[in-house]
Amino acid sequence: MIHIAVLGYGTVGSGVVEVINRNRDSINKKAGKEINIKYVLDLRDFPGDPVEKILTHDIEDILNDEEVRIVIEVMGGIEPAYTYVKRALLSGKSVVTSNKELVAKHGTELLKIARERDINFLFEASVGGGIPLIRPLNQSLTADEIYEITGILNGTTNYILTKMTEEGKSFDEVLKRAQEKGYAERDPRADVEGHDACRKIAILSSLAFGMEVNYEDIYTEGITKITEKDILYAEKIKHSIKLLATSKKIDHRVFARVSPVLISNDHPLAMVKGVFNAVLVKGNVVGDVMFYGKGAGKFPTASAVVADVVDAVKHLNRNIVFSWSTEKMDLMELKDVPVRYFVRIKYEDFENAKNEVEQVFGTKEIIVLENLKDEFAFISNEETEGILQEKIDILKKEKSIKGIENIIRVEY
């Protein structure tokens, strides 16, 4: 029998306990041993709840109990999670976590401790909820050199963009409804500003490229500036606007970015709608593979946590090797990364504005929406962002152009 402890009895923690009980027989069979939840740690009391008898308020009960071999951290946030997890690992207990902030900030150190002690630090649930991502990247795509990972890693923003598209409503309207339905937090910034997706792509990049990618180095732009008009233009040219987290090798360097992107409706990520997540991985042998599913929620997340527990039981005194090393990745600056811009322009004078765009950007094709009389849009050729920004600055000074309404990146 393997004794485990669960830190945090919130949404995910209670899901984990429920799943281990519900699928007990099949889980124990796959783990090859009986799994017993010996402790649940939470500051709160849960009178009448089945966990009442195993509830503790004191982390020392768990850390000092040598019978506990695996600790599940599902509290979220950096502290006290970091301190607890580090102490658990240092005392020889494997740790399974769903905490993306913790993994993005301290993953390198915690993996190193686990490696040195021949135990495990596993974090499948920290990215993409129940979608198998970390393990396939680490153990299935080993023949490949990965050169790109691009994903829809945040369900809240994908829900908002989907609803804006399907119902023609504004960001604020849809956000409000999403909050009422519980799909968005009361303080939605971590989602809508892209911070959540940023941490997740940092984790995936560290794994895929074998070095520590600091999430603070990743250019991150949210969806708050996306308007109904942008979506109408996108629809006109059979594109969708998605918040994409991407990490890509160019020659021997890597760039990473979180931002709204226009993608063709033929792109496999374009069909990912509502709260679903998906990650497209490109390898130099396999080509494109995509993983799709619910990226959050009590049970999808619990599914990934418990699968990690099964793996931890199967590898009790044997470290599962991750390529994520302690070496730091020096990311490319965005200004050196080639991309296309979708640019929306308000004009004083249509013909002159059109000519200016052609002269500066070398593109004749503009996109006009019938109902919008004082603006048009165009898509630039591919150039580095540095050059594109210089060209935007030139446009801004032209008299025929009243202003730049929005700029969104375009990927093919």
Catalytic residues: 200
Q: Please, which residues bridge with residue 5 across strands? A: 39, 71
Interaction of residue 64 with a second copy, rule CB under 8 A = no
Interaction of residue 115 with a second copy, rule CB under 8 A = no
Residue closer to a second copy by CB (options 27, 204) is: 27
Using CB under 8 A, pick the residue from 31, 37, 51, 55 that binds a second copy: 31
Interaction of residue 386 with a second copy, rule CB under 8 A = no
Residue closer to a second copy by CB (options 59, 122) is: 122
Would you call 26 exposed, middle or buried from its count of C-beta atoms within 10 A (0-12, 13-18, 19+)?
Answer: exposed
Using CB under 8 A, pick the residue from 42, 73, 101, 124 that binds a second copy: 124
Sequence-ordered list of residues with C-beta below 8 angstroms from that of 48, at least 6 positions apart, any chain? none
Interaction of residue 17 with a second copy, rule CB under 8 A = no
Using CB under 8 A, pick the residue from 140, 170, 317, 326 that binds a second copy: 140
Interaction of residue 183 with a second copy, rule CB under 8 A = no
CB of 186 to a second copy, least distance (A): 25
Going by DSSP bridges, is the β-strand pair 68-73/94-97 parallel, antiparallel, or unpaired?
A: parallel
* SS3 assignment, position 221: coil
Interaction of residue 170 with a second copy, rule CB under 8 A = no
Residue closer to a second copy by CB (options 133, 192) is: 133
CA angle 134, 138, 141 (to 5 degrees): 110
Contact 74, 13 (CB under 8 A): yes
Residue closer to a second copy by CB (options 296, 337) is: 296
**Distances from the Cα of 134 to the Cαs of 49, 124, 156, 326, 394, in angstroms?**
33, 5, 21, 18, 44
Interaction of residue 327 with a second copy, rule CB under 8 A = no
- Please give the residues from 249 up to 278 whose contact with a second copy meets the rule CB under 8 A: 268, 271
Residue closer to a second copy by CB (options 170, 284) is: 284
Residue closer to a second copy by CB (options 188, 283) is: 283
Sequence-ordered list of residues with C-beta below 8 angstroms from that of 352, at least 6 positions apart, any chain? 398, 399, 400
- Please give the residues from 285 up to 324 whose contact with a second copy meets the rule CB under 8 A: 285-294, 299-300, 302-307, 309-311, 314, 321, 323
Amino acid identity, position 25: D
**Distances from the Cα of 194 to the Cαs of 190, 191, 232, 385, 401, in angstroms?**
6, 5, 23, 20, 31
- The binding site for a second copy (CB under 8 A) comprises 19, 22-23, 26-27, 29-32, 124, 130-132, 135-136, 139-145, 268, 271, 283-294, 299-300, 302-307, 309-311, 314, 321, 323
